Amino acid sequence: MFSKGTKRKFSDGGEEISDESLLGARVASSYSLQRQSLLDMSLIKLQLCHMLVEPNLCRSVLIANTVRQIQEEMTHDGSWHMVTEAFCSAGQSPSERLVATEVLCRSREQDAEPKLFSVISYEGCREEEVVADETLCSVSVSDTVSNVCLAGRMGQCWEKSELSGVERDEEALEDSRLGSGEDEEIDTEDGASTESPKTIGQVFGTFEIKNGSPGPDSALEELFSDVDTSYYDLDTMLTGMQSAPKMGPYDLLDSLAPSHSSPSIVSTPNCRSDLNELDHIMEIIVGS
Amino acid sequence: MDEEIDTRKINNSFLRDHNYATEADIISTVEFNSTGELLATGDKGGRVVVFQREQESKNQPHRRGEYNVYSTFQSHEPEFDYLKSLEIEEKINKIRWLPQQNAAYFLLSTNDKTVKLWKISERDKRPEGYNLKDEEGRIRDPTTITTLRVPVLRPMDLMVEATPRRIFSNAHTYHINSISVNSDYETYMSTDDLRINLWNLEITNRSFNIVDIKPANMEELTEVITAAEFHPNQCNTFVYSSSKGSIRLCDMRTSALCDNHSKLFEEPEDPSNHSFFSEIISSISDVKFSHNGRYLMTRDYLTVKVWDINMESKPLETYQVHDYLRSKLCSLYENDCIFDKFECVWNGTDSVLMTGSYNNFFRMFDRNTKRDVTLEASRENSKPRAILKPRKVCVGGKRRKDEISVDSLDFSKKILHTAWHPNENIIAVAATNNLYIFQDKVN
């Protein structure tokens, strides 16, 4: 039911391991496996909020505290550092994949204890920024060369009607087109409207995407103006991710390639032709 | 202790004929009134059903006051918050009775956002003989009226009507989890995840915020309020519990905003038991003052604790409800059962505690004899007027004949809500959509 993350062993440089320490290592790695699976489970729980009714705040806070606890322990262990490094390095190189859950980091320059919020990394990603709103999912996007914005407000994330049939390639394509840091609207709290806790870096933020970003690339706007943006809603993407063969954030980490190849988006046989086209355009814009 | 079943296994969906459990019928709260004459239940569909105890009659001494349906009404309806595009559930979270002051009964019922004061009154007489209206209520032609008469009251079949007298709304941003009537009988408080508001029962357009634990930056939120209650005698004192396992006692005389507690009840964690779930299982799901006001009872996931109001450092007594679940916490976290909020109740003399568990089990702890018992509320296992048989969960090793093993427990059958009659040994136990009422055996 839950994705199993890649086991992170604290490598101590290939020295000879005796039987006893092997056993110890096994116990330790089994503990870290369990801890990892607990972390994954918790993050998924945080994401899977009830759409129509407000999520239970107490439950969310308790899960978020558990995640924080695990995160702190992993930080002390050093295993967290490896994870964050990996993701930060992804910032330098183009990555096509959506990172499924809300782990991960700000850029390396920021504080030592990485805060948790979700990341959508995509080509040309340099810095991640949190987009926050209320309830449900949170998304982080970078400011990059691309200023494409997507229309539509993320209302409830997990529209059940959109759960089925979203191709992973779409979401991957999606990544490359999320854009523009400047425009992100962070919903300010005003008394009645924000219910959910913005814990651990807006875990519960709703992604708000606006149309029409200012910026030089109005041509881009025109290019994409006729695209049906409902496909590129965050929730379809994420739910598509979920319905796809399960991968934890760390599996994705493994598959992040340092160099992108030129049809950089995963192409699958049933890729839509217009998506391919846009994909190609993206390539050009971002500059392979 | 032995309990005899009264067999009043009242299916809460009595209005319909079917037997299957519809979600709307899941009982979400149970409460006796202050005399024990009435028992109210609220359900997930926003309905309140009130049962009344039969007057004991000499002809049928064995039918010692059974509870029958007295009134049913729809207290809350589902609403839609257009600002946030979210539904507001109609589920009744809590019911609290007001003390009776005249022939009518009053209770407060609340869903996530709105508290309502309901008046339940009887009508058994009807005026007859109007001059201007005929018997069917049609207006008479004035020219046909030749005589005048005084209308008289004639008896009619008893009708019990419930009318909403006050609606207290728009005061809570978060979900209301508790309401508590003050001993001054003029005010009450409503508690949500982050704030507690004080109301006057007569005034619906204004409430006072007395506790606010919302952080300036919601990112820093790590603790929520889980329950709150007024002291039974001191109208200035109340307690509230938190998701981190602490209880704060506040005195409203000290300041208008009681963010600073007068007392903090907290037990330091046992380091040998520490796990990633320690905080979750320490979250307090219910807090209740004893009737005499000297003790507090708190319920967390695995235990019930009794605290002396005067000793904050540790509880007076700790009772294990289902410690065999301690090794299953990960699975219970996965299936969300670890977040179940069990309630707990005192008996009338504050000598026995009761709380629910899984598999339709509920537990009672006698504070004096230190004995405890596990009982089951289910149709299959109890015959009418038979004495409830104590149950036992076996943890490992050999399972004896009547025992049930931990792995066979049904976690979907949970008893979250129970109530104890204020004076007698009568208990009401809500098992999903069934209400069980048990009475003590009297020879």
Whole-number percent of chain A with pLDDT over 70: 22
Distances (CA, A) of B253 to A7, A145, B192: 56, 60, 22
Smallest Cβ–Cβ distance between B219 and the set A56, A69, A202 belongs to A202
Please give the Cα distance from B247 to B259 (Å, whole number).
13
- Domain membership of residue B322 (yes or no) is yes
Q: Which residue in the set B173, B217, B330 is minimally distant from A195, CB to CB? A: B173
| Residue A162 maps to a domain | no
A162-200: pLDDT as tens digits: 333 334 444 444 444 443 333 333 333 333 333 334 444
As a whole number, mean pLDDT of residues A3-18 equals 53
The dihedral sign for the CA sequence A137, B339, B93, A197: negative
Contact A65 B175 (CB under 8 A): no
Task: Considering only residues B394 and A8, tell me which one the structure prediction assigns the higher pLDDT.
Answer: B394
Q: Which chain A residues have a beta carbon less than 8 Å from that of B219?
A: 197-202
DSSP secondary structure of B128-192: E--SSB-TTSPBPPGGG-------EEEEEEEEEEEEEEEEE-S--SS-EEEEEE-TTSSEEEEEE
Q: Among residues B414, B410, B287, B412, which one has the least CA distance to residue B357?
A: B414
What ipTM was reported for this prediction? Answer: 0.88
Residue A263 lies in a domain: no
Gap between the Cα atoms of B381 and B399, Å rounded: 19
pLDDT tops 80 at residue A25: no
Is residue A165 domain-resident?
no
The alpha carbon of residue A58 is apart from the nearest alpha carbon of chain B, in Å, by: 6
Please compute the mean of the pLDDT values over residues B32-50 and round it to a whole number: 96
Range of the domain at A76: 19-89
Q: Is A67 domain-assigned? A: yes
Run of H or E including A16: none
Is A63 contained in some domain? yes
pLDDT at position B442, please? 55
Report CA-CA distances (Å) from B170 to A285, B9, B246, B426.
51, 38, 28, 37
Contacts of A197 in chain B (CB under 8 A): 218-219, 221
Which of B176, B39, B49, B76 has the alpha carbon at shortest distance from B433? B49
Q: pLDDT tens for residues B338-360?
A: 999 999 999 999 999 999 999 99
A54, A59, A195 ranked by CB distance to B339: nearest: A59
Residue B361 lies in a domain: yes
Q: Residue A152's pLDDT is what?
A: 31
pLDDT per residue over A213-224, tens digit each? 444 455 555 555
Residue A135 domain flag: no
- Evaluate whether residue A79 is within a structural domain: yes
pLDDT tens per residue, range B48-90: 999 999 887 766 666 567 899 999 999 999 999 888 888 899 9
Q: How far apart, in Å, are the Cα atoms of B214 and each of A178, B218, B264?
A: 33, 7, 18
User: Is A186 exposed, middle or buried, given 0-12, 13-18 or 19+ CB atoms closer than 10 A?
Assistant: middle
Question: Does residue A275 or residue B90 have the better pLDDT?
Answer: B90
Section B367-376 average pLDDT: 95
Task: Tell me if A69 is assigned to some domain.
Answer: yes
Domain that holds residue B263: 23-120+166-439
Per DSSP, what are the bridge partners of residue B119? B106, B163
Q: How far apart are the C-alpha atoms of B382 and B434, rounded to whole Å?
A: 14
Q: Which residues of B touch A (CB under 8 A)?
A: 83-89, 112, 173-175, 193-194, 217-224, 226, 243, 276-277, 279-280, 283, 330, 333-334, 336, 339
Q: What is the pLDDT of residue A47?
A: 80
In a domain, B3, yes or no: no
Nearest chain A residue to B281 by CA: give it: A62
The reported pTM is 0.68
In a domain, B18, yes or no: no
Maximal C-alpha separation, chain B: 92
Q: How many CB atoms lie within 10 A of CB A281?
A: 15
Would an 8 Å CB–CB cutoff place A77 in contact with chain B? Answer: no
CB B167 within 8 A of CB B116: yes
Per DSSP, the residues of B234-268 read -TTEEEEEETTS-EEEEETTT-SSTTS-SEEE---
Q: Which helix (H) or strand (E) holds B38?
A: strand B38-43
Name which of A224, A250, A225 is nearest A6 in CA terms: A250
Residue B185 is predicted with a pLDDT of: 94
- The model's pLDDT over B178-234, given as tens digits with 9 standing for 90+, comes to 999 999 999 999 999 999 999 999 999 999 999 999 999 999 999 999 999 999 999
Partners of residue B438 on adjacent β-strands: B5, B427
What does the alpha-carbon distance between residue A84 and residue A81 come to, in Å, rounded to a whole number? 5
> How do B344-346 and B393-394 pair as beta strands?
unpaired
DSSP codes, B294-307? SEEEEE-SSEEEEE
B329: confidence class by pLDDT, cuts 50, 70, 90: very high
* Total domains, chain A: 1
- CB A160: neighbour CB atoms within 10 A? 10
Residues B15-30 have pLDDT tens digits of 222 334 466 689 999 9
Q: A88-92, B103-107, B250-254 — which is least confidently predicted?
A: A88-92
User: Mean pLDDT, to the nearest integer, of A145-171?
Assistant: 36
Contacts of A35 in chain B (CB under 8 A): 276
d(Cα B355, Cα B357) in Å, to the nearest integer? 7
Provide the pLDDT for residue B7. Answer: 32
pLDDT at residue A139, rounded to an integer = 36
CA distance A71 to A101: 14
pLDDT confidence of B288, banded at 50, 70, 90?
Answer: very high
- Report the alpha-carbon angle B261-B266-B294, nearest 5: 70
B381 pLDDT tier (thresholds 50, 70, 90): low
pLDDT at B289 over 70: yes
Instruction: List A residues 37-76 in contact with B (Cβ-Cβ < 8 A).
Output: 38, 41, 45, 52-54, 56-59, 61-62, 64-66, 69-70
**C-alpha distance from residue B186 to each of B182, B235, B255 (Å):** 7, 10, 19
Q: What per-residue confidence (pLDDT) applies to B257?
A: 87
Q: Looking at residue A16, what is its pLDDT?
A: 52
Within a domain: B87: yes
Nearest CA in chain A to B278: A66
Q: Minimal CA–CA distance to B275: which of B304, B305, B301, B248?
A: B301
Distance CA A108, CA A94 (A): 16
Give me the mean pLDDT over the A197-219 stretch.
42
Asked whether B92 and B48 are in contact (CB, 8 A), the reply is yes
B251 belongs to a structural domain: yes
Task: Kindly list the distances between the CA atom of residue A272 and the CA atoms of A260, A268, B356, in Å, as whole numbers in the listed order.
Answer: 21, 9, 55
Query: Contact, B210 vs B236, CB < 8 A?
Result: no
pLDDT digits (tens, 9 = 90+) for A43-84: 988 887 655 567 889 999 999 999 999 999 988 877 766 556
> Domain containing B221 — which CATH number?
2.130.10.10
What per-residue confidence (pLDDT) applies to A281? 76
Q: Total structural domains in chain B?
A: 1
> What confidence tens digit (pLDDT) does each residue in B93-140 have?
999 999 999 999 999 999 999 999 999 999 999 888 888 888 787 888
Short-list A144, A126, A94, A229, CA closest to A221: A229
